Chain A
């Protein structure tokens, strides 16, 4: 973790008609940091994240991602980020290797790079003997790990993970976080949303979103001290119970 800022937002806002989904969000994320983005359902996490990925145009405010402007330079942003959505989004009717090849290819990797890197990748994931299996036939936990690896296959500066571990068992979650740490060690900034408070503890810093606004932003340990509790659960509860919005 360095002082180099890779994500910077200033009063970033997204409105859908009268509804303010994300309300004047301001924060910075540093290079190599694991940044947890927390909030109750409907708090506006996904909306904020979609703006940062260039999938959604902000209504007002400013933001730069990897040094590029979210209004004018979305295509440049897209070259420098990886994204893993809530919905599993690899092609189930392609094999493991074909998926890797496809996503590597569209990010402009050469055939040789793709070949070498994909071999290394499936070995690392323990999928060496499953390279020619259709992704649809893999168990969910493997799919998630594969999806993450594909999202950082082109060595992006930042990877955005939208609830990446939904529905997987604790062991697989642990393994998933090992992958996240490894990516962070290589200097990739990880921006992750989650509902699991144990995962929040793994982050360098977390922000808490309530009703479209950021209510708290600090290291987990500082937040616990600040709210005078020992668990992140309590911190979350303290902050989120005033929420007007929900499911």
Chain B
């Protein structure tokens, strides 16, 4: 125990003396939480549209103004030449082309049907699909208006009367930030665990001080605890800073569930992810190696965690990776507790799995950490 006291004393002194690390600890949660949820937004706005109107009738005008007033589209070209508009599509100025054919109004009135052409620039897949479906629903809506105009006076109502009302549970206003902020908090503590801890240990290897430690009677587990505890506390601190300061004050995010349960899970998660950092450090001899290795794992952990893309829509083989990833479980737990108000009972499986991860990574790292070669 006394050994551990001296190790911790030394570690904290070194961390607080390193101004770059200190700044990172303070600035990282602030910047990431302020910038990312606002910028990395999946709502698609500003879809560039070029409209080719061969009809120039009141109806076609009405459709165009409906599209423009929807707020999702920016009109980049309005003309009567498909070729011109297509050039815009080719040069990436336009994402979509809507072609309104000649006799649009006449056919609508007379034959009660008319087809439109939507050409989509599918290079940016998300923008194209989402923009296309927005446009589709606007036209649908327009269609409904027309039918109502024409048919109602005659007393016949052929417009479907089923009206769908959505009720959004847990995030009633579909606030995208409520969804992202908890996820980014997870990202933050993952970074601290996987990077800072690994780099710190490898630095001792690089400088040669670890050799000095290895000739002392310090026990392996003391040394490792001496490294884990400081970064564990930093992780808790950074999380709290982001959670209570930014998430609450800036995004008005008040957790629906128990904060105690959340912190219990956070503590466990940190042990697991610090284990990853430790493991990385036992396999690297230089800070560069540790960086590259951590970066590799971080990318997989983050992209396969369901933070940005739902795991349910991943292919089967990818789901295996997603569920072999500790970050996935913490993001799930965060969203469950913060947004749904889930209690311990709902996430006990997550606790069990995370305990497994913590044991696996740390045991592996301890076995692989050698005082003697």
Interface residues of A (CB under 8 A from B): 50, 53-57, 74-75, 78-79, 81, 83, 85, 87-94, 98, 101-103, 105-108
A79 proximity list for chain B (CB < 8 A): 217
Which of B4-12, B144-152, B180-188 binds A? B4-12
Task: Give Cα A88–Cα B6 distance, bound, in whole angstroms.
Answer: 21
Q: Establish whether residues B6 and A101, one from each chain, have CB atoms under 8 Å apart when the complex forms.
A: yes
B13 proximity list for chain A (CB < 8 A): 94, 98
Q: Establish whether residues A103 and B372, one from each chain, have CB atoms under 8 Å apart when the complex forms.
A: no
A53 proximity list for chain B (CB < 8 A): 215
Given A78-B215, A87-B208, are A106 and B373 neighbors across the interface (CB < 8 Å)? no
In the complex, besides A98-B13, A106-B218, 12 extra interface pairs with C-beta distance below 8 angstroms are A54-B215, A75-B217, A83-B215, A85-B208, A87-B208, A89-B209, A91-B10, A93-B14, A101-B6, A102-B6, A102-B10, A108-B2
Q: Establish whether residues B6 and A91, one from each chain, have CB atoms under 8 Å apart when the complex forms.
A: no
Task: Give the 9 A-B CB pairs with smallest separation, nearest first.
Answer: A105-B6, A87-B208, A89-B212, A83-B215, A78-B217, A89-B208, A79-B217, A89-B209, A102-B10
Task: Give Cα A87–Cα B373 distance, bound, in whole angstroms.
Answer: 18
Consensus secondary structure, chain A interface: loop
Task: Give Cα A91–Cα B10 distance, bound, in whole angstroms.
Answer: 9
Interface residues of B (CB under 8 A from A): 2-3, 5-7, 9-10, 13-14, 17-18, 207-209, 211-212, 214-219, 371-373
Task: Give Cα A101–Cα B7 distance, bound, in whole angstroms.
Answer: 11
B216 to chain A: closest CB distance in Å? Answer: 5
B2 proximity list for chain A (CB < 8 A): 105, 108
A50 proximity list for chain B (CB < 8 A): 373
Q: Which of A57, A81, A108 contacts B373 (CB 8 A)?
A: A57
Q: Establish whether residues A56 and B372, one from each chain, have CB atoms under 8 Å apart when the complex forms.
A: yes
A74 proximity list for chain B (CB < 8 A): 372
Task: Give Cα A103–Cα B14 distance, bound, in whole angstroms.
Answer: 15
Task: Give Cα A111–Cα B217 distance, bound, in whole angstroms.
Answer: 18
Task: Give Cα A103–Cα B215 distance, bound, in whole angstroms.
Answer: 11
Q: Establish whether residues B9 and A90, one from each chain, have CB atoms under 8 Å apart when the complex forms.
A: no
Q: Establish whether residues A90 and B7, one from each chain, have CB atoms under 8 Å apart when the complex forms.
A: no
B211 proximity list for chain A (CB < 8 A): 55, 83, 85, 87, 89
Consensus secondary structure, chain B interface: helix
A55 proximity list for chain B (CB < 8 A): 211, 214-215, 371-373
A85 proximity list for chain B (CB < 8 A): 208, 211-212
Q: Establish whether residues B373 and A105, one from each chain, have CB atoms under 8 Å apart when the complex forms.
A: no
Task: Give Cα A79–Cα B18 distance, bound, in whole angstroms.
Answer: 31
Task: Give Cα A87–Cα B212 distance, bound, in whole angstroms.
Answer: 10
A107 proximity list for chain B (CB < 8 A): 216-217
A81 proximity list for chain B (CB < 8 A): 215
User: Can you name the residue of chain B whose Cβ is closest to the Cβ of A76?
Assistant: B217
B307 to chain A: closest CB distance in Å? Answer: 35
A106 proximity list for chain B (CB < 8 A): 3, 6-7, 216-218
B218 proximity list for chain A (CB < 8 A): 106
Q: Establish whether residues A102 and B208, one from each chain, have CB atoms under 8 Å apart when the complex forms.
A: no
Task: Give Cα A93–Cα B19 distance, bound, in whole angstroms.
Answer: 12
Task: Give Cα A92–Cα B206 distance, bound, in whole angstroms.
Answer: 13
Q: Establish whether residues B215 and A98, one from each chain, have CB atoms under 8 Å apart when the complex forms.
A: no
B208 proximity list for chain A (CB < 8 A): 85, 87-89
A188 to chain B: closest CB distance in Å? Answer: 15
A101 proximity list for chain B (CB < 8 A): 6
B3 proximity list for chain A (CB < 8 A): 105-106, 108
Task: Give Cα A85–Cα B216 distance, bound, in whole angstroms.
Answer: 13
B21 to chain A: closest CB distance in Å? Answer: 11
B204 to chain A: closest CB distance in Å? Answer: 9
User: Can you name the residue of chain A whose Cβ is closest to the Cβ of B212?
Assistant: A89
User: Can you name the residue of chain B whose Cβ is closest to the Cβ of A95?
Assistant: B13
Q: Establish whether residues B207 and A94, one from each chain, have CB atoms under 8 Å apart when the complex forms.
A: no
Q: Establish whether residues B10 and A54, one from each chain, have CB atoms under 8 Å apart when the complex forms.
A: no
A94 proximity list for chain B (CB < 8 A): 10, 13-14
Task: Give Cα A85–Cα B212 distance, bound, in whole angstroms.
Answer: 7
B371 proximity list for chain A (CB < 8 A): 55
User: Can you name the residue of chain A whose Cβ is closest to the Cβ of B216?
Assistant: A106
Task: Give Cα A81–Cα B13 distance, bound, in whole angstroms.
Answer: 27
A61 to chain B: closest CB distance in Å? Answer: 16
- 28 examples of A-B residue contacts, CB within 8 angstroms: A50-B373, A53-B215, A54-B215, A55-B211, A55-B371, A56-B372, A75-B217, A78-B216, A78-B217, A79-B217, A83-B211, A85-B211, A85-B212, A87-B207, A87-B211, A88-B208, A89-B207, A91-B10, A94-B10, A102-B6, A102-B9, A103-B212, A105-B2, A106-B6, A106-B7, A106-B218, A108-B3, A108-B217
